[in-house]
Chains A and B, each alone.
Chain A
Amino acid sequence: MPDQDQSSATPAVELRNIDKSFYGVFANADVDFSLAKGEVHALLGENGAGKSTLCSVMAGLYRPDSGEMLFDGKPMVFKSPKDAYAAGVGMVYQHFRLVSNLTVAENLALGNPEVGLRLSQGQLEAEAKELGERYDFPVDPSARIWQLSVGQQQRVEILKLLYRDAKILILDEPTAVLTPQEGEALFRAMRMLADEGRSLIFVSHKLQEVKAVSDRVTVLREGRVVGAANTDDAEPRDLARMMVGKDLVLPTRKPNESVGDEVLVIEDLVVEDDRGLDAVDGLSISVRAGEVVGIAGVSGNGQRELAQGIVGLMKVKSGSVRLNGTDVTKKSVLAKIKSGIAYVPQSRLGMGLAPGLTTEDNLALKQYREPPYSNGPLLSAAAFGRRGAELIEEFDVRGVRPGLPIRLLSGGNLQKALIAREVVQDHSVLIARSPTRGLDVGATADVRDHILAERDRGIAVLLISEDLDELLALSDRLVVIYEGRIVGEMPASEATAERLGLLMSGEREDQSA
């Protein structure tokens, strides 16, 4: 075995031959893993490589099908996260596990056996405050979770673990929701915790982050461990190859050659969120034919409302949306589809695709009202099958099994199916939200190719994303939004991650041109 630690110290965690499958598909197969005390250990791998599943197994959320787990040298079986907590293992999930209607202090106390039977709100809040100050993680303990920003919520998650004095902290893709600046603050805190003797598992698919913060790295691919090394000894290129299984180059963006007329024009758009607050607050933007405009912003700054307001899923309070000169603001979703808006939503399953329907049915979802799918009131099963097969072939959707629901496909294939459906209909605008989120490198490349192909055939593309890499790779022009308003705009040639990150965190640029 490569790089076995020779020191006599017992590892904080040792996993042997862990297997875990869902519905007969392996998420982890024969995984060996070892975490030393006081180290930051990166779990590197593409999405779908089994990192999250492995973490959930260690945190007691999932039970492994087989294999052994040793914590501090003692074999353990976790029936639930409660057992894991008792053994000093805590996890910050990718989707936070905070009760949004409760306060910060209440969330810290939740499920913690050391809190007395009687709750003293004042005492809890004082403790929460003290803990936050000790780790340089200031949060208002009496605030309710929904009032906090995503970065602050993440701090609460980490404080929750520290409040229980967890010795092993698992952070599942913690930087995905942070600005680069917030990410650096997180890394500082992680180093501080490791220096205290705690062990941290850091899940990521970004090489530079792994290089920046971890002591050791274990690489997963397709549910298996494909390598482990001291981070300092590991060449980024080797890690990348291990992660992907082959050398892969992302498509490089060619500048758009010709930009046409304004296709999508949005003026002073105001859209309320579910709470009745103006989540999109007077936003104006226009997208020309053959141009990708990227909307950058930290999650929760009006992205969802902007996209859904444009496509008609949320009510526009004021302002206008014009498409090729026609006002479509108040049109129904169906009318908007017919007038040429294609939409790739953030949640593929649920909003984008109907999880329980077959791939062929899903591919027809926006066109089944018309021939060849339907003939008067009747649907043509043959057309569904034939047209479905064509699209599956053309867009290289893999893993489709006839008659089985689409939700069994992997994320990349789901996204390809979704894009296939959206771009085959007549359209002049494509709205895409985080289209490569959670996809592996290969699928990411395919999806980016499709989006750039759309641009090159003269479609106006509005790309709304929280992933700076994705934005920088695809956009011709970048717009940064903060609290539903535009705080900066620049051509792609002038955009850097640092500059965008600063704007995304609400800092106005000192002098904008």
Chain B
Amino acid sequence: MNDSVLMLTIMAAIGLGTPIVFATVGEILAERSGILNLGVQGMMLFGAVVGFWATFQTGSLWLGVFLAVVAGAAISVIHAFNSVTLRVSQIVSGLALTIFGTGVAIFIGRAGASPLVGRPSREIFEPIFPQSLADIPLVGPLIFGHDALVYLSWVIVAIASYYLFHTRPGLTVRAVGEDPASAEAAGINVSRVRYIHVMLGGALAGLGGAYFSLALVPSWQDNPIGSAGWIAIALVILASWRPWRALWVAYLFGAAGRVNFTFQTLEINIPSNLLAMLPFLLAIVAMLILASGKRARLLGAPEALGVPYFREER
């Protein structure tokens, strides 16, 4: 039963969806504070290469994860500085960050006399519970069949959701994203809130990137993450800026990544390239929605998303 097509698809969906969960929740935090960060792809790739490199050097998976998180947060400061302090266009700055992060990741992967490219991983995240537990029908794989980072992603989703909707700092974030002028008048440091949440977004994107390089792919390539960063930005809208919904839609996309294989097994004939294209179609539609402020707000986007805030404007 645990080997049924459905179960295999679900497990693959969780595996492929987990990095997107991290990145999507991160982007939700940033966007809830009013900052649109299109640099997710770049931050993820940077986290992926730093995580892979650190684990390759030291053999410690957790050190890899930790440095990937730090790397993601660090590179996101560029965007925070551009959009909060300099108040430049967030779209331009975010795109630049993606280009920069991608370039840096490829460079790090290829630099030096013995580059990382093509090297197999020294360590990889494995399921943490014994196989005997995972063999329990149905619930076994679903509950006990995952590696540590999958469980971490669940914890992060739960914390992010509780934080946003049931704590005072969470209320602060939502207020800053909706109406920074009012938030500031209520005594909130808008810039600080935005910096912090852009960096949290970067940290989670870095973590998502590391999941690719430390759990999903067996060796370093120029781009181990595909277009997961773009998908994550699109999913923020599908999740209507809510962490729990982000979990489900990310898994849905994980399943889409597996759907070729599933369809083949079930002998359904749809050209695989067509299916592989679907996520990108959705990403494009999502970008269009984000770019047309009014429509995005109807879907629940923070009122001030993407709008630079300047206190003494008059």
- Cβ–Cβ contact B168 & A160, under 8 A: no
Interface size grouping (class) on chain B: 20 to 34
Partner of A81 from B167, B170, B187, B314 at Cβ < 8 Å = B187
- Cβ–Cβ contact A81 & B185, under 8 A: yes
Partner of B178 from A62, A84, A100, A117 at Cβ < 8 Å = A100
Partner of B166 from A80, A81, A82, A119 at Cβ < 8 Å = A119
Q: How many Å from the CB of A72 to the closest CB on chain B?
A: 19
Knowing A106-B171, A117-B167, A118-B166 are in contact, say whether A99-B187 is a contact too (CB < 8 A): no
- Cβ–Cβ contact A110 & B172, under 8 A: yes
Q: Please, which residues of chain B bring their CB within 8 A of the CB of A110?
A: 171-172, 175, 182-183, 186, 188
Q: How far is the CA of A36 from the CA of B80 in the complex (A)?
A: 44
A residues contacting the other copy or chain, number (CB 8 A): 31
Partner of A109 from B168, B184, B312, B314 at Cβ < 8 Å = B168
- Cβ–Cβ contact A115 & B189, under 8 A: no
A16 at the interface (CB under 8 A from B): no
Partner of A119 from B171, B175, B311 at Cβ < 8 Å = B171
Within 8 A of A (CB), among B165-220: 166-172, 174-175, 178-179, 181-189
Interface Cβ pair total, 8 Å cutoff: 83
A91 at the interface (CB under 8 A from B): yes
Give B65-83 as 1s and 0s: 1 = Cβ < 8 Å from A's Cβ atoms. 0000000000000000000
Q: Please, which residues of chain B bring their CB within 8 A of the CB of A98?
A: 179, 182
Q: Please, which residues of chain B bring their CB within 8 A of the CB of A59?
A: 185
Q: How many Å from the CB of B171 to the closest CB on chain A?
A: 6
- Cβ–Cβ contact B312 & A22, under 8 A: yes
B303 at the interface (CB under 8 A from A): yes
Q: How far is the CA of A22 from the CA of B313 in the complex (A)?
A: 10
- Cβ–Cβ contact A82 & B312, under 8 A: no
Consensus secondary structure, chain A interface? loop
Knowing A99-B175, A119-B167, A119-B168 are in contact, say whether A22-B184 is a contact too (CB < 8 A): no
Q: Please, which residues of chain B bring their CB within 8 A of the CB of A102?
A: 171, 174-175, 178
A116 at the interface (CB under 8 A from B): yes
Q: Please, which residues of chain B bring their CB within 8 A of the CB of A116?
A: 168
Q: Which residue of B lies closest to A164 (CB)?
A: B187
- Cβ–Cβ contact B188 & A99, under 8 A: no
Q: Please, which residues of chain B bring their CB within 8 A of the CB of A100?
A: 178-179, 303
Q: How far is the CA of A102 from the CA of B165 in the complex (A)?
A: 11
Q: How many Å from the CB of B113 to the closest CB on chain A?
A: 52
Q: How many Å from the CB of A349 to the closest CB on chain B?
A: 10
Task: From B166, B172, B179, name the one whose CB has the most chain A CB atoms within 10 angstroms.
Answer: B179
Knowing A80-B184, A97-B186 are in contact, say whether A109-B171 is a contact too (CB < 8 A): yes
Within 8 A of A (CB), among B2-44: none
Q: Which residue of B lies closest to A85 (CB)?
A: B187
Give B128-143 as 1s and 0s: 1 = Cβ < 8 Å from A's Cβ atoms. 0000000000000000
Q: Please, which residues of chain B bring their CB within 8 A of the CB of A97?
A: 179, 181-182, 184-186
A389 at the interface (CB under 8 A from B): no
Within 8 A of A (CB), among B295-314: 303, 311-312, 314
- Cβ–Cβ contact A99 & B312, under 8 A: no
Q: Please, which residues of chain A bring their CB within 8 A of the CB of B168?
A: 109, 112, 115-119
- Cβ–Cβ contact A111 & B186, under 8 A: yes
Q: How far is the CA of A117 from the CA of B178 in the complex (A)?
A: 20
Q: Which residue of A lies closest to B294 (CB)?
A: A274
Give B146-173 as 1s and 0s: 1 = Cβ < 8 Å from A's Cβ atoms. 0000000000000000000011111110
Q: How many Å from the CB of A142 to the closest CB on chain B?
A: 15
- Cβ–Cβ contact A117 & B169, under 8 A: yes
- Cβ–Cβ contact A82 & B183, under 8 A: no
Q: Please, which residues of chain A bring their CB within 8 A of the CB of B166?
A: 118-119
A181 at the interface (CB under 8 A from B): no
A265 at the interface (CB under 8 A from B): no
Within 8 A of B (CB), among A51-89: 59, 61-62, 80-82, 84-86
Q: Please, which residues of chain B bring their CB within 8 A of the CB of A91?
A: 185
Task: From B171, B172, B178, B184, name the one whose CB has the most chain A CB atoms within 10 angstroms.
Answer: B171
Knowing A119-B167, A119-B171 are in contact, say whether A82-B187 is a contact too (CB < 8 A): yes
Q: How many Å from the CB of B296 to the closest CB on chain A?
A: 14
Q: How many Å from the CB of A25 to the closest CB on chain B?
A: 11
Q: How far is the CA of A97 from the CA of B187 in the complex (A)?
A: 11
Q: Please, which residues of chain A bring their CB within 8 A of the CB of B172?
A: 110-111
A135 at the interface (CB under 8 A from B): no
A380 at the interface (CB under 8 A from B): no
- Cβ–Cβ contact A101 & B167, under 8 A: no
Q: How many Å from the CB of A15 to the closest CB on chain B?
A: 19
A93 at the interface (CB under 8 A from B): yes
Q: How many Å from the CB of B195 to the closest CB on chain A?
A: 15
Partner of A99 from B170, B182, B189 at Cβ < 8 Å = B182
Q: How many Å from the CB of A40 to the closest CB on chain B?
A: 22
Q: Please, which residues of chain A bring their CB within 8 A of the CB of B178?
A: 99-102
Knowing A97-B181, A101-B178 are in contact, say whether A111-B188 is a contact too (CB < 8 A): yes
Q: Please, which residues of chain A bring their CB within 8 A of the CB of B189?
A: 80, 82
Q: How far is the CA of A458 from the CA of B78 in the complex (A)?
A: 61
Q: How far is the CA of A100 from the CA of B169 in the complex (A)?
A: 18
Q: How far is the CA of A81 from the CA of B190 in the complex (A)?
A: 11
Q: Please, which residues of chain A bring their CB within 8 A of the CB of B185?
A: 59, 61, 81, 91, 93, 97
Q: Please, which residues of chain B bring their CB within 8 A of the CB of A82?
A: 187-189
- Cβ–Cβ contact A22 & B314, under 8 A: yes
Q: Which residue of A lies closest to B174 (CB)?
A: A102
Q: How far is the CA of A112 from the CA of B312 in the complex (A)?
A: 23
Q: Please, which residues of chain B bring their CB within 8 A of the CB of A117?
A: 167-169
- Cβ–Cβ contact A61 & B167, under 8 A: no
Knowing A101-B303, A119-B171 are in contact, say whether A81-B179 is a contact too (CB < 8 A): no
Q: How far is the CA of A101 from the CA of B171 in the complex (A)?
A: 12
Q: Which residue of A lies closest to B314 (CB)?
A: A22
Q: Please, which residues of chain A bring their CB within 8 A of the CB of B314?
A: 22
Q: How far is the CA of A98 from the CA of B179 in the complex (A)?
A: 8
- Cβ–Cβ contact B186 & A160, under 8 A: yes
Q: Please, which residues of chain A bring their CB within 8 A of the CB of B169?
A: 117
Q: How many Å from the CB of A170 to the closest CB on chain B?
A: 11
Q: Which residue of A lies closest to B304 (CB)?
A: A99
Q: How many Å from the CB of A291 to the closest CB on chain B?
A: 37
Q: How many Å from the CB of A27 to the closest CB on chain B?
A: 9
Q: Please, which residues of chain B bring their CB within 8 A of the CB of A80?
A: 184, 187, 189
Q: Please, which residues of chain A bring their CB within 8 A of the CB of B312?
A: 22, 62
Q: How many Å from the CB of B47 to the closest CB on chain A?
A: 29
The list of the 6 closest CB pairs from A to B, nearest first, reads A111-B186, A82-B187, A97-B185, A97-B182, A111-B187, A111-B188
Q: Given A84-B187, A111-B186, A111-B188, 19 more contacts at CB 8 Å? A: A62-B312, A80-B184, A80-B189, A85-B186, A86-B187, A97-B186, A99-B182, A100-B178, A101-B178, A101-B303, A107-B186, A109-B168, A110-B171, A110-B175, A110-B182, A110-B183, A116-B168, A118-B167, A119-B168
7 CB contacts below 8 A, A to B, read A80-B189, A81-B186, A99-B179, A100-B179, A102-B175, A109-B168, A110-B175
